[in-house]
Amino acid sequence: MIFFLASLLLTAGIYAYRKFLTNNLASQKLVLQKLEIEFEPATIAELERVSGAIAAAGNVLRAHTMSSAVFDMVEASALSTVSFNTFSYSAEKNIITLAGEAASYSDVSAQSSVFEALPAVESATFGNLSLKETGTVGFILNIQLKKQ
């Protein structure tokens, strides 16, 4: 008899729990339908497009960490008697080209030596030397970076 009553209680409990889950599932389906109506497919598509653009921008920024390091290297290594007025960086060739002016020919040579002494630099060569009307020396400096 006790076994029969326990079985009956267990069956009633399982039936009640099943009814609860069925009602809960129906309620959650209604909530989901309301949310789908609130978010239009066009809005979702636009958000997915923006998400893709943000991810692409993140990839571009991660790829430009070398560029940031190049600017830091040039800034930290520039002599006070030398100024640069153009900058070009080719990531494919791993070359920096700087055009600038220096107080003297020896400053151009010293600047080239400073860059050449850096661990990231394979070679630094200058050319197109010209004496400006202001007395400064114009030059172009090509810096070949080491492969990483």
3-state DSSP of 89-125: EECCCCEEEEEEEECCHHHHHHHHHHHHCCCCEEEEE
**Contact (Cβ atoms closer than 8 angstroms) between residue 111 and residue 140:** no
Q: Which residues pair with 124 in a beta bridge?
A: 143
Report pLDDT for 63. Answer: 61
CATH code of the domain made up of 66-145: 3.30.1360.100
For residue 96, what are the contacts with CB-CB under 8 A and spacing of at least 6?
Answer: 70, 74, 87, 88, 89, 142, 143, 145
Tell me the sheet residues that pair with 125.
142
Give the whole-angstrom CA distance, residue 101 versus residue 52: 44
Q: So what's the pLDDT on residue 142?
A: 92
Q: Quote the pLDDT of residue 148.
A: 67
CB 107 within 8 A of CB 135: no
Residues forming a β-bridge with 82: 102
* Alpha carbon distance 141, 139 (integer Å): 7
Cβ contact 126:112 at 8 Å:
yes
Stretches in the chain below the pLDDT threshold 70: 60-68, 148
Strand partners of residue 145: 121
Tokens of 108: 């151009």
